[in-house]
Structure 1
């Protein structure tokens, strides 16, 4: 009997091949989904590693080597050599030993120390611009800017002494605590790459705040033997590990993860064993766990997305198998009847009826297993070359389940003819099965409703039945819509016949009377819905990633600037781009926890419009710029040039309750940072107070007068300013604790009380509107924000945006030219420079020439590339692949269905042609029967895709890792849906039309 079955397969090899292909469509996703997930894991991990910050690919162990000059070992000390040996357990990492402590003797001011550092193999990472690098004991190399500032040269001798910081408020300086040692300046260095992983997280070259501003960080490097021989106290010891070539390859990450856990445990044990005090602890610092967590989150997102299209394709493939086997069983009804009439027993009848299909299914299973893995290999090789698909036998674990589903489908399709009486099998009329079909539709609808309800109640958990919810919802809707369309087709056919349109009438009756046609329509609708759903998911996610890349970055390119003053940042940017075409100074302003973030931008007249990536649906940037800056600031320039003189008269201050006066000024030409000028204690009577500030040679803008009291309560009095701006109180603002009035010879400042005002009394020129105008997102309530000096600044909302560039929503935007003059500090800040896409290629060099230090260069295109390698984006590549395969499956079902019914349709139309039906009507009936199915299926399928998206699309994790609060699209665009519908009509309609032409040729 087995030979007979194989003979039957060979005799009907065409339908058997088709059924094998359909079975392969069902099994291939069950293999491809796990294989694709393994590939996605590799792609996501490789992408995260490639985009990781240096701190996320390195680690550091630090401890303090206590002062041992008293003799003997300090109890509880940590043996960093033993601890460092544990680092070797991290495969592929390189390690650097370092020791440092502060010294004085090189700088001219003891408030500033020099970092004396030994770092293993430092000479290989320094460029010596004068002299040589370290060779012998007592050799020293210093930075080129420090050498220029301190007039040092190679060959010079420098005495250095270990120092401690004296934190006494009256001192605040470094004091010597060791014998002097004479050093030989062997060379002058320039660091080749301050951000190189070799330097670890010590911030050797970060700008340092010192009296009078900031300066570049440049340690003095020496040898370990010199450090050991020098008289010194506490020293910081560290062992830094950083990833070498291939250390963070995808295949090494599991072992690295385990080794990192073991290392943390070992360091904790060593730290506990050496705990002789707070300073003796062994500290391990690394951001690698954050990198691993992002990789895990990407993997989790992929595992939530990939099963959704995989299950949808399997369900549609099983439905296609049901149609194919059912069509074959329908065509072989006389054969089944003859077998029954010959007395074959029921098991033999089942085997003869189903064996042909089962052989084809088994062959298709083998092909599907191979095709699933090969398809993934091809996609990964094309889309992510070099990552590798990593084939693994574990990808086969779901193949038996898919095979079982196909086998059950085959047996269910064969059940109808097998259980019918012989008389019904010999009739040409369709077999009754209306109520059974309705029962199946209702059952699927109930199952879909349950899956959707579980998805909603489970908070969008796509695990288990939740992953099948989109497929079940769309399939159930497709079955119900197809069942509803059949009566419409019958009514249209009868109406066409009554009007004499025979070809159209015959087409409508063909579509309504054949049960297989209704099932084909249901499959076509479901296929269009699944394809549209996958396109919607991919398109919504792609637009969301573009929003995050453009609006989330803020501009086409964002340069992060090292510590500098607000004045220098703005001046440098304006000097580089005087035409306001491509650059804008930006300062993110820290806010209180829970408050919306604030972004200060130098809008100018056109800078905001020229540089910022603007949110969709918002007012144009030029209008927002005018709302933020309705009028230019009116600065008050302090007279007196570089020697600032202030004429004051003080009165009514009680003895012992004097106040001091500071001036906060900003050089108008940007030649220096903001400065706080301590004018001193205000003495009774008229007096001139002076302060020499060379940066004010070109004029300085007054930001504020700050009047501070001591520890005494009840301080009050009057200060009259004679030579500073207008005496009109309307031209000034005063903080709580004081009153302003006009005096005959100046401005009268009445200090009413300084109690409860630790920041003192602030008197400022009214150079800007008050409250400050801001532009905010819709949820911001007018009130106050924290300014650059962390004081509360009252604001009024001058405009609304759906989102603020780089911040999203909720957030607030303010003009930097308004916010800066009301700031009452001189602290440096880390700002940004936003650049347009057409910025000059040498813009970094130009900004550096104007005194800015660029610490990071981030382009929106880089962010887009990084997002494309996160879990959600990678997983949606599988959804796109399924969308294509579903269309191919639907086209194959059309060909199969047309081929299975071609002989009977040709006989019917030939008989009608012999009875006088015109050739034109026969042609219309033959050609347009199945294209009409496509015309009905495409709009219905698109509508069901949108309904399925509304019910389940929200659960798909499309936003990637740590998404910022940006207004992302939640619905697919009309254009993408229209294009999808047109493509489906062309592909499926063309396939149906070609199938009809073959039927027409059969008629002759």
Structure 2
């Protein structure tokens, strides 16, 4: 029996080779899914860990108990893949030859490897220190000289704490705040209070209580086994707690993102491999069914000679099963090799692909499916009566039952695809919902393959009657059935998946680019150290006087779901990126709406100022004082005060040294009223002059300026303010303590804002103590930085209303793409300290390396592999024509039809099959896209809803919905795929023509 089996395989070795190749392809596709998932998960971990904030990569712990006498380090936790860094910190005052400054003295294990020493060396001995370069210049300390460290004046008595003489052995450059080694600790990388680094013995010599720190810093290797990592972190935190440390970390946020990304990859990639395996099975079914048809006569003679049915079944099955089972090993190796090449090409970091159990299981399932497909293809021949098998010309069976079953299966597939798309598309992305395009393509292909037969046959008959032989025979080839309709189904599924994958990749790419532009706001964004808003605006305008490439921005602190971003609106159009996702409002129009009128200010410049004040209606036992708050363009603040005003009109001289070299802006006028009775006075602020009598701010300017009062209430009334011939008049008459501040404010009463989403009429600032009336001046779909729940406001207007005191919250400088190379040095020369830089290009690149992008890469690769399978199916049908010239068009040679006509008809028939399958497949892709585009994973932090639908749950401000339609550029790869298949038709026609012509000659 074995010899007979080998003889059968050798006799039909071509079919055996085809079966082996197709099975190996199915096995390779099945193995590629889990193998790629494993490599993509490693790549994703590296990308997410690299992009994580310092707080998400570090477990920080500290213990502030008195420990300076204990020189023995406590037990430190160890977590595989983490770097454990111990440290000590104490605060003090560092004194040099010129000045003294508050400083932190710190020791950190391994600090000399991470400090950038610009002069001298690192501290290695007792009482040696290294200073930050700017600190050394400010306090006047030279290399090799001594400095003194004393306890801060604000601390209480500390037994044994004496001034410590330290030797400066080196100067270091300020560490980067985004270096995880420093764990984002303010005493180590802070700007205002510098760090002085010393050895641990030096800190012990200070004989003061120190804060001990322990930081666990994660590396990408720590995330190889997430379950083990969580268990190790729990043990480490318990150990820290037992040692008296308080631990804190945002690491759970990073672990959550990694879990979500891994889940996206797991569902998307494995289900992307399913269509490939099914396509292989379909081509294998076509090949085996065609091979069985080749040996119909052999099977009939075997049955005629009385061979038992079970033996005939076993021989037919074994002939197919042998190459199928042999294909397991080469198929797995091919899948491994292809996945390795794909990982090296498209995955960030080119991770190593390692064999694992899941891929072997999937390979076995694919091979068993191939075996089942082969057995199914033989059922028809093995159940046909002997007379039907021996008949030279097959009797055309009615398609009623078979066609009905196929139509029913196709309809069910369409319904399944629709249900998956509709019920999962609005609430989730990825997962089993990604099978929707496959179901829709398969269903439409099965239905269409049966329906095109009748119109194709009518077209063929009509063409023959008119004498157009090539057209008629090509149409009849499409209509004759056999394996033709399976090729149409195959092509429909292939182009349905290809069109959907290309549309998904194209729209996702557009969404990533626009989201990067929305989230960053400009081509480059510089985060700067905190400083007043006026200083920020002044420095940026000085670095870019024409307003062509730099813009100041800051965040506004308000208690509202709407996040506010304050921008220097005069530069918005020149600097900010403006993607289509923002809507129809142009940046020039937005800038005009944000700032309908320029800001005017009351300015003066003098070392001394004479203030004219008229005071009336003051009770005898009351006193009144006057305070002016001034600020330079560089942000230097000054308050000048007249302690006691006299009734009547008088001039009072105040010193304004801050305003001697540069103009100052009047930011606030406040009255200090002390009384035991009723709060009552009538005060007028008149001319402000320099000692020579020159008017700096005229009384008419004070009277004509717009002044704003604080929020009033029954418990906190405000004065009456208005113009008077002598200047600004302020009146009070109340028994309740009033708020006697007035602010020069030329901004509109209700601040104009350009907003996306809901914008309340009033916003609350500073914990609800300040009410900010606003109005919507314009509407956008999304706003820079804050997306769908945000608003823009002019920075100068916002500074007048919400930032009268203190530094600007989260100050930034936005830069255009054409900003000069030295812009950072220009900004620093004007007083800004640049802390970090972000770019839209970098953010876009991050989106291209996260889980959805890695999944879409595999989906695209799978779709193009499907085109290769379709080409293989066309070649298989050509090869199966060997030895059967009596069943093809070649029999017409005996009827006088020229060979050239027959070859043209054969080629036209194949072209018709390809073009028909392509058109139906693209229709399936269009239908799938309309119904199921919401199932495509686009963002690692959530899905999206198509235009017009509402995202469930909490609003995601940065989720820019992809466009509804892809760009026309996806037609190019589709055209290439069609060209490849048409070229394959030429090759298949030549193969079939040579064989058939040789058989009929």
Fold match by TM threshold 0.5: yes
Give the secondary structure class of the aligned counterpart of 2:661. Answer: helix
> Are positions 1:449 and 2:415 aligned together?
yes
Equivalent of residue 700 in structure 1, options 648, 652, 664: 664
The 1:490/1:640 distance shift into structure 2, 3 A limit, reads same
Give the secondary structure class of the aligned counterpart of 1:354. Answer: helix
Question: Residue 312 of structure 1 aligns with which residue?
Answer: 275
Q: Which moved more, 1:773-782 or 1:858-867?
A: 773-782
- Report the Cα offset of residue 460 of structure 1: 5.4
In the TM superposition, 1:644-655 aligns within 5 A as: 644-652=609-617
Judge conservation of contact 2:132–2:174 (CA < 8 Å) in 1: no
Question: Residue 774 of structure 2 aligns with which residue?
Answer: 795
- Report the Cα offset of residue 284 of structure 1: 1.4
C-alpha deviations, 1:461-499, integer Å up to 9, x for none? 679865544422321122122222222222322332343
Equivalent of residue 939 in structure 1, options 919, 927, 945: 919
Question: Residue 237 of structure 1 aligns with which residue?
Answer: 212
Question: Residue 435 of structure 1 aligns with which residue?
Answer: 401
Equivalent of residue 451 in structure 2, options 481, 484, 488: 484
Question: Residue 809 of structure 1 aligns with which residue?
Answer: 788
Judge conservation of contact 1:28–1:368 (CA < 8 Å) in 2: yes
> Are positions 1:954 and 2:920 aligned together?
no
Q: Which moved more, 1:948-957 or 1:142-151?
A: 142-151
Structure 1 distance, partners of 2:8, 2:678, is 110
Structure 2 distance, partners of 1:464, 1:374, is 26
Question: Residue 694 of structure 2 aligns with which residue?
Answer: none
Structure 1 distance, partners of 2:475, 2:289, is 22
Give the secondary structure class of the aligned counterpart of 1:933. Answer: helix
Structure 2 distance, partners of 1:63, 1:559, is 34
The 1:180/1:579 distance shift into structure 2, 3 A limit, reads same
Judge conservation of contact 1:615–1:803 (CA < 8 Å) in 2: no
Judge conservation of contact 2:55–2:183 (CA < 8 Å) in 1: yes
C-alpha deviations, 1:164-213, integer Å up to 9, x for none? 74xxxxxxxx56555662333422754324224443333125556xxxxx
Q: Say how many residue pairs are matched.
A: 958
Judge conservation of contact 2:95–2:149 (CA < 8 Å) in 1: yes
Question: Residue 987 of structure 2 aligns with which residue?
Answer: 994
Structure 2 distance, partners of 1:631, 1:953, is 46
Structure 1 distance, partners of 2:375, 2:733, is 96
In the TM superposition, 1:594-613 aligns within 5 A as: 594=561, 596-604=562-570, 606=571, 608-613=573-578
Judge conservation of contact 2:745–2:800 (CA < 8 Å) in 1: no
> Are positions 1:268 and 2:254 aligned together?
no
Judge conservation of contact 1:664–1:824 (CA < 8 Å) in 2: no
The 1:762/1:11 distance shift into structure 2, 3 A limit, reads farther
Q: Which moved more, 1:512-521 or 1:705-714?
A: 705-714
Equivalent of residue 850 in structure 1, options 813, 823, 830: 830
Structure 1 distance, partners of 2:535, 2:767, is 15
- Report the Cα offset of residue 526 of structure 1: 0.9
Question: Residue 276 of structure 1 aligns with which residue?
Answer: none
In the TM superposition, 1:45-444 aligns within 5 A as: 45-66=45-66, 84-91=74-81, 93-102=83-92, 113-120=102-109, 142-152=131-141, 161-163=150-152, 165=154, 177=158, 181-187=162-168, 190-195=171-176, 196-204=179-187, 216-230=192-206, 232=208, 234-242=209-217, 248=221, 251=224, 256-271=229-244, 282-384=245-347, 386-425=350-389, 426=391, 427-444=393-410
- Report the Cα offset of residue 812 of structure 1: 1.0
Give the secondary structure class of the aligned counterpart of 2:530. Answer: coil
Question: Residue 951 of structure 2 aligns with which residue?
Answer: none
Q: Which moved more, 1:782-791 or 1:746-755?
A: 782-791
Structure 2 distance, partners of 1:898, 1:135, is 80
Give the secondary structure class of the aligned counterpart of 2:186. Answer: coil
Structure 2 distance, partners of 1:659, 1:205, is 47
- Report the Cα offset of residue 850 of structure 1: 1.9
- Report the Cα offset of residue 417 of structure 1: 1.4
Judge conservation of contact 1:727–1:743 (CA < 8 Å) in 2: no
C-alpha deviations, 1:821-873, integer Å up to 9, x for none? 44452312331111222322332222222221111111222222322221111
Structure 2 distance, partners of 1:647, 1:178, is 55
The 1:932/1:161 distance shift into structure 2, 3 A limit, reads same
Judge conservation of contact 2:519–2:786 (CA < 8 Å) in 1: yes
TM-score calculated relative to the size of structure 2: 0.87
In the TM superposition, 1:834-845 aligns within 5 A as: 834-845=814-825
- Report the Cα offset of residue 319 of structure 1: 1.8
Structure 2 distance, partners of 1:929, 1:878, is 33
Cα RMSD, aligned residues only: 3.6
Equivalent of residue 551 in structure 2, options 574, 584, 587: 584
Give the secondary structure class of the aligned counterpart of 1:306. Answer: helix
- Report the Cα offset of residue 302 of structure 1: 0.8
Judge conservation of contact 1:583–1:835 (CA < 8 Å) in 2: yes
Question: Residue 76 of structure 1 aligns with which residue?
Answer: none
Structure 2 distance, partners of 1:11, 1:67, is 88
The 1:27/1:880 distance shift into structure 2, 3 A limit, reads same
* Structure 2: gaps of 5 or more residues: 688-696, 713-717, 943-955
The 1:822/1:663 distance shift into structure 2, 3 A limit, reads farther
Question: Residue 968 of structure 2 aligns with which residue?
Answer: 975
Give the secondary structure class of the aligned counterpart of 1:85. Answer: coil
Judge conservation of contact 2:552–2:567 (CA < 8 Å) in 1: yes
Structure 2 distance, partners of 1:199, 1:471, is 51
Question: Residue 764 of structure 1 aligns with which residue?
Answer: 743
Judge conservation of contact 2:494–2:866 (CA < 8 Å) in 1: yes
> Are positions 1:629 and 2:595 aligned together?
yes
Structure 2 distance, partners of 1:908, 1:207, is 84
TM-score calculated relative to the size of structure 1: 0.87
The 1:420/1:55 distance shift into structure 2, 3 A limit, reads same
Give the secondary structure class of the aligned counterpart of 1:820. Answer: helix
Give the secondary structure class of the aligned counterpart of 1:310. Answer: helix
Structure 2 distance, partners of 1:119, 1:882, is 51
The 1:309/1:116 distance shift into structure 2, 3 A limit, reads closer
- Report the Cα offset of residue 518 of structure 1: 1.3
Q: Which moved more, 1:349-358 or 1:654-663?
A: 654-663
Structure 2 distance, partners of 1:241, 1:443, is 58
Structure 2 distance, partners of 1:99, 1:734, is 46
> Are positions 1:516 and 2:483 aligned together?
yes
Structure 2 distance, partners of 1:247, 1:309, is 27
Q: Which moved more, 1:622-631 or 1:576-585?
A: 622-631
The 1:11/1:741 distance shift into structure 2, 3 A limit, reads same
Question: Residue 212 of structure 1 aligns with which residue?
Answer: none
Question: Residue 773 of structure 1 aligns with which residue?
Answer: 752
C-alpha deviations, 1:284-303, integer Å up to 9, x for none? 12333333332222211111
Judge conservation of contact 2:146–2:168 (CA < 8 Å) in 1: no
Structure 2 distance, partners of 1:658, 1:395, is 88
The 1:731/1:192 distance shift into structure 2, 3 A limit, reads closer
C-alpha deviations, 1:346-403, integer Å up to 9, x for none? 1111122232222222233332222111111111123345421122233212222222
- Report the Cα offset of residue 981 of structure 1: 2.9
Structure 1 distance, partners of 2:674, 2:75, is 55
Give the secondary structure class of the aligned counterpart of 2:516. Answer: helix
Give the secondary structure class of the aligned counterpart of 1:343. Answer: coil
Structure 2 distance, partners of 1:731, 1:864, is 45
Structure 1 distance, partners of 2:451, 2:988, is 25
Judge conservation of contact 1:567–1:673 (CA < 8 Å) in 2: no
Question: Residue 879 of structure 1 aligns with which residue?
Answer: 859
Structure 2 distance, partners of 1:824, 1:362, is 76
Structure 1 distance, partners of 2:333, 2:45, is 26
Give the secondary structure class of the aligned counterpart of 2:821. Answer: coil
Structure 2 distance, partners of 1:17, 1:304, is 33
Judge conservation of contact 2:522–2:575 (CA < 8 Å) in 1: no
Judge conservation of contact 2:116–2:175 (CA < 8 Å) in 1: no
